[in-house]
Amino acid sequence: GAGVSQSPRYKVAKRGQDVALRCDPISGHVSLFWYQQALGQGPEFLTYFQNEAQLDKSGLPSDRFFAERPEGSVSTLKIQRTQQEDSAVYLCASSLQGPDTQYFGPGTRLTVL
Amino acid sequence: AQSVTQLGSHVSVSEGALVLLRCNYSSSVPPYLFWYVQYPNQGLQLLLKYTSAATLVKGINGFEAEFKKSETSFHLTKPSAHMSDAAEYFCAVSDRAHETGGYNKLIFGAGTRLAVHP
């Protein structure tokens, strides 16, 4: 079956622009995670959804970062007024339930100029 | 706070040689431990995980890892490297306490890039 998909795969933004990154989880997966992976580093947790509820947003680096999953399926990570330090690969993962194996999408590479 | 240290950002082996990728963790509670592999332009794929059953865990593609509490280690091994094993490998830890909250909040190491040469 289809895995986790993310769009766009690549995004170039000028500093100060707003961006929106989309994640389509595996159908039926209750749990959805966002991670940020800076160049040469491992992924870092940003936020967690159980269905439409955002239960953990402890990893969001600033109030410029906002995530939503309004119908408990597709999720969007929005970054307002992008800064150069926001340049990274943003990974989305989903799992059937919270404790289950997380399946990762290919990521969106964001470059802020 | 939990953390993961992967010793060696780059490891190079000959095809057919033993693969050993090192991972040490720090956790105040019994952890769950994971190894993921990342191929270029692809998402992370789970190789294996330790969740308190057998300390020797077997995964996909011939990889295995052994949980050693006394050494706080979870090293990944494969007896014989194949060219297709060339990729980046990430060790991750999850605080089991989060199981009560119903999810695994993964803390990743910085990764080890494995090169396999003929």
The minimal CB distance from A31 to the residues B36, B41, B103 is found for B103
Is the Cβ–Cβ distance between B65 and B57 less than 8 Å?
Answer: yes
Position A57 scores a pLDDT of 92
- DSSP bridge partners of B39: none
* 8 Å CB contact of A98 and B42: no
pLDDT < 50 regions, chain B: none
Measured between CB atoms, does A105 come within 8 Å of chain B? yes
Q: Quick one: tokens of A14?
A: 């000028």
Position B100 scores a pLDDT of 55
Residue with structure tokens 């294996």?
B48
**Chain B positions in Cβ-Cβ contact with residue A4 (cut-off 8 Å):** 43
CA B42 → CA A92, B34, B79, distances in Å? 12, 18, 25
**Chain B positions in Cβ-Cβ contact with residue A91 (cut-off 8 Å):** 43-44
Best CA proximity match to B65, nearest among B53, B81, B77: B77
* 8 Å CB contact of A4 and B43: yes
Is the Cβ–Cβ distance between B47 and B88 less than 8 Å?
Answer: no
Position B113 scores a pLDDT of 97
Question: B24-45: per-residue pLDDT in tens?
Answer: 999 877 788 999 999 987 889 9
Q: What kind and span of H or E run contains B50?
A: strand B44-50
Q: How far apart are CA B101 and CA B83, in angstroms?
A: 40
Instruction: Give chain A's length.
Output: 113
Position A101 scores a pLDDT of 87
The minimal CB distance from A104 to the residues B43, B49, B99 is found for B43
Best CA proximity match to B10, nearest among B112, B85, B91: B112
Position B30 scores a pLDDT of 78
Is the Cβ–Cβ distance between B29 and B2 less than 8 Å?
Answer: no
Question: A27-86: per-residue pLDDT in tens?
Answer: 999 999 999 999 989 999 999 999 999 999 999 999 999 999 999 999 999 999 999 999
Position B98 scores a pLDDT of 55
Q: How far apart are CA A79 and CA A20, in angstroms?
A: 7
Position B104 scores a pLDDT of 82
- DSSP bridge partners of B101: none
**Chain A positions in Cβ-Cβ contact with residue B90 (cut-off 8 Å):** 42-43
**CB proximity under 8 Å: A 62-91 to B:** 91
What burial class does residue A27 get, using C-beta atoms within 10 Å of its C-beta: 0-12 exposed, 13-18 middle, 19+ buried?
Answer: exposed
The minimal CB distance from B103 to the residues A40, A44, A48 is found for A48
